[in-house]
Structure 1
Amino acid sequence: MIISALLLAGVLAFAVVRPRGLPEAVAAVPAAVIAVGAGLVPLRDATAELRELGPTVGFLAAVLVVAHLADEHGVFRYAGRVAARISRGSPVRLLGAVFVAAALTTAVLSLDATVVLLTPVVLVTAARAGVRSRPPAYASAHLANSASLLLPVSNLTNLLAFAASGLTFLGFAAVMALPWIVVVAVEYLVFRWFFRAGLRERVEPRAGGGDGPAPGYALAVLGLTLTGFAVAQPLGVHPAWVAVAGAVALAVPLRSSPLTLLREANPAFCAFVLALGVVVAAVRAHGLGGLVEHLVPDGAGLGEMLAMAGLAALLANLLNNLPATLVLLPGVESSPGLLLAMLIGVNVGPNLTYVGSLATLLWRQILHEQDAAPAARDFLRLGLATVPIALVSGVLALWAALRVTGH
């Protein structure tokens, strides 16, 4: 148990610090090899874990390529222009426009697209509009996590939970639509209160920008790809293949090189996810799994769902949300209510601390590179203001949605 815990702690610490910018897989892959070689995880169990995670990681790689190609087509720059046009120099209107853009980007293209591709656009848009960048920049981080509740493809945690839920693609979206709307609305209201002073301030606008045509082809392909996710799943087609088709359709007009597409699929991060699954399997087999079984609530009433979401949020901030999902999933997969409450916890909970999700760590790195470094104290204060009320509101909405939809 001690060796397994030390391996997981080392992998997570490396992922947080990323010394010299090295990819997370540099620590995770050797840790997984040690776990198997030392007999902490039997080879057959490690192989089964990799086989189970493989399609999910394949989808992750494909959707990263789709997001990159959408950026090459100008989708995110177009979103920035629309947000600037809607705001007309008003900090409050710009915050609202960023909330809509980030929520939709996260839902359709996953949280990584919001963090990596939309955040720099948000910073530039705020500067050109002459408003403080902190409120919309922090919104992109929060919504990358909390707005990922809507679709199975919005977050890697969703894909893991979706595979165990027994729901169809549209069934998942139908149940999670109300929690998604409620959580985003709660976040917006808290942001309006928390940044009330900054939303009244103006700065000197930066020259540049201008209008441009909408990237109609790319938007059409993204729309068809999203439709394909819903249509293909009942036919037994994994969403990864739909994402691959969308990537091919976007790549052809750009004549993107295969090497570029491979690089944008981020093989190192995919290897990290697979290796992390093996390390978590070792921890789960040597004590943590039994502890979690005792902590997971019995029953699926509102009280138990609230407790489950709280436990998931706590583990997300202690372990990171991906390992927390892998640890909790076996204990809740037989109960749709607890499973989806767990998902709210691991998606909304990471807004409390930097270490709650890898997306938040990446967002922090991007802001440092843009000379807009966030303050840890402000991030924690904002998390304390948003996470508890968003968790409770989201679970209440989920409880109501499960009854309305008959699940």
Structure 2
Amino acid sequence: MRTVAVSVVLIALSAIAVLTGLLPVSDVVHLWGRVWPILLFVTAITVVAELAAAAGVFTALARQVARGGRGRAWLLWLLVVAVAAISTVFLSLDTTAVLLTPVVVVLARQVGLNPLPFALTTVWMANTGSLLLPISNLTNLLAQQAMGDLPPAQFVALMWAAALVAMVLPMAVVFLLSRRSLLARYEPAARGRSSDPVLFWTTVAVLIVLIPLLVSGIPVWMPSTAAALVLAVAFLARQRTAVRLGLVPWRLLLFAAALFLFVAALQSAGLGAVLGRIAGQGESPLALLRLSLTGMLSANAVDNLPAYLALEPVAGSPVRLAALLIGVNVGPLITPWASLATLLWHQRLTAMDAGIRWRRYILLGAVVAPVTVVASTLALALTA
């Protein structure tokens, strides 16, 4: 409800800006032209992920991971890291933070391990692992547009080194912090079966077809929408109750739309000029660090989405946009509100009685985020 209330306030303020002429209607129309494909993709991929979870795909994946760990907690954890990375890269950070987190918590409890290292892995990987592909994060899709609809292969060529550093460093910290529990042994969980094999294998087939299409260069809203429709039809035929309006992330969509409008209004009021002086110019390593750290601080002050939108005009070139993405994607590890995925992750943990105290989360993030942002930005500067 807090998200809805904040969204309503932001929309009201944006409406006042439009009515007073501060935010021209033409700017709103232009903004809508940019964001509707992105919002449609977010809706479709969320529906796909929710139905995949209902079909038991993530649970089956967890069982496979548990067996693959061969009784060694460190190997099990590395497999969870790999699954979280793949989930983030190909299905977006929200899928990892929201849907994979309950799976890994249940997995850890089933084999008698401390669930917190696994839960911390999912939320950190969800944020820091979201640099590699345009579909990995909403900010990436916006940046891809600003780069002139850069093809996915070229986006990867620009981001791969920074993405690799951003994924490895936080995971190394998780291992060091939890090395005692991760060096233990466990008994693999018993095998299980899907309640509806037809739905399970239909969903697996849809995902196998969908993932390559998401990186093919086709506008991502097209294959994701088609996949959501196919799965919805399959579930209507075999498990009708799973298809409900609640599958659509209404609060997330409202919040994103409100942020888009509000930041556009702030830009019209002169925010861009102020941020331009703070973020600086140029593509030297120091200039890129200045921009990425500005993005990190802005994301933790408000949220990564408005931080990106506010700083996008002062980025300019693909390399500077990449540095900005490092700041707003990798940087939101400190405050709870820096990333909506983090808030949703914490809600899932609390519901499962496996919550982590925000004080501890903030202290850990305050150490990990700046180091990772700096290292990833330097990797970008060396390879761009």
Distance 2:110 2:21 in 1: 57
Aligned pair partner of 1:340 in 289, 303, 322: 322
Q: Residue 64 of structure 1 contacts residue 265 of structure 1 at CA under 8 Å; is this kept in 2?
A: yes
Once the two structures are TM-superposed, the CA of residue 225 in structure 1 deviates from its matched residue by: 1.4
Q: Is the 8 A contact 1:24 1:268 kept in 2?
A: no
Residue 272 of structure 1 deviates from its aligned partner by 2.3
Corresponding residue for residue 301 of structure 1: 284
TM, length-normalised to structure 1: 0.86
Amino acid at match of 2:305: L
Q: Structure 2 matches for 1:8-407, cutoff 5 A? A: 18-19=1-2, 22=4, 25-166=7-148, 167-200=150-183, 210-212=191-193, 215-233=200-218, 238-255=219-236, 260=243, 262-332=245-315, 334-402=316-384
Which segments of 5 or more consecutive residues in structure 2 lack a partner in the other structure? none
Residues 45-68 of structure 1, C-alpha deviations (whole Å, 9 max, x = no match): 223222221111111111111111
Aligned counterpart, 1:12: none
SS for the counterpart of 2:270 is helix
Q: Quote the Cα distance in structure 2 between the aligned partners of 1:108 and 1:345.
A: 21
1:134/1:341 Cα in 2 relative to 1: closer, same or farther (>3 Å)? same
Note if contact 1:29-1:272 (Cα within 8 Å) is conserved in structure 2: no
TM, length-normalised to structure 2? 0.90
1:101 and 1:396 map into 2 onto residues whose CA distance is: 27
Instruction: Measure the CA separation in 2 of the matches of 1:25 and 1:258.
Output: 29
Deviation track 1:209-266 (CA, whole Å, cap 9, x = no partner) reads 5244795543332232122123343xxxx21011111222333332266993643222
For 1:54 and 1:299, locate their aligned partners in 2 and report how far apart those are by CA, in whole Å. Answer: 31
The amino acid of 1:231's aligned partner reads: S
- Whether contact under 8 Å (2:89, 2:132) holds in the other structure is yes
Alpha-carbon separation, structure 2, partners of 1:218 and 1:176? 30
Q: Give a deviation string over 1:92-128, Cα, whole Å, max 9, x none.
A: 2232121111111111111111111110001100001
Q: Tell me how far 1:147 sits from its aligned partner.
A: 0.6
Q: Which runs of 5+ in 1 are unaligned?
A: 1-17, 403-407
Question: What is the rounded CA distance, in whole Å, between the counterparts of 2:103 and 2:69 in structure 1?
Answer: 15
**SS of 1:114 mapped into structure 2:** helix
More deviation in 357-366 or 243-252?
Answer: 243-252
- How many residue pairs end up in the alignment? 377
Tell me the secondary structure at the aligned position of residue 21 of structure 2.
coil
1:316-370 deviations in whole A, cap 9, x for unaligned?
Answer: 00121000011011111x3111100100110110012212111111111111111
CA contact (8 A) 1:302 1:399 kept: yes
Paired letter, 2:145: A
* Separation in structure 2 between the aligned mates of residue 76 and residue 90 of structure 1, nearest angstrom: 21
Provide the aligned C-alpha RMSD in A. Answer: 2.4
Between 21-30 and 320-329, report the one with greater CA deviation. Answer: 21-30
Provide the rounded CA distance (Å) in 2 between the counterparts of 1:121 and 1:267: 23
**Structure 2 equivalent of residue 7 of structure 1:** none
Q: How far did residue 200 of structure 1 move?
A: 4.8
**Per-residue deviation, 1:169:** 1.5
In structure 2, C-alpha distance between the alignment counterparts of 1:271 and 1:376, rounded to whole Å: 26
8 Å Cα contact 1:50-1:278 kept in structure 2 = no
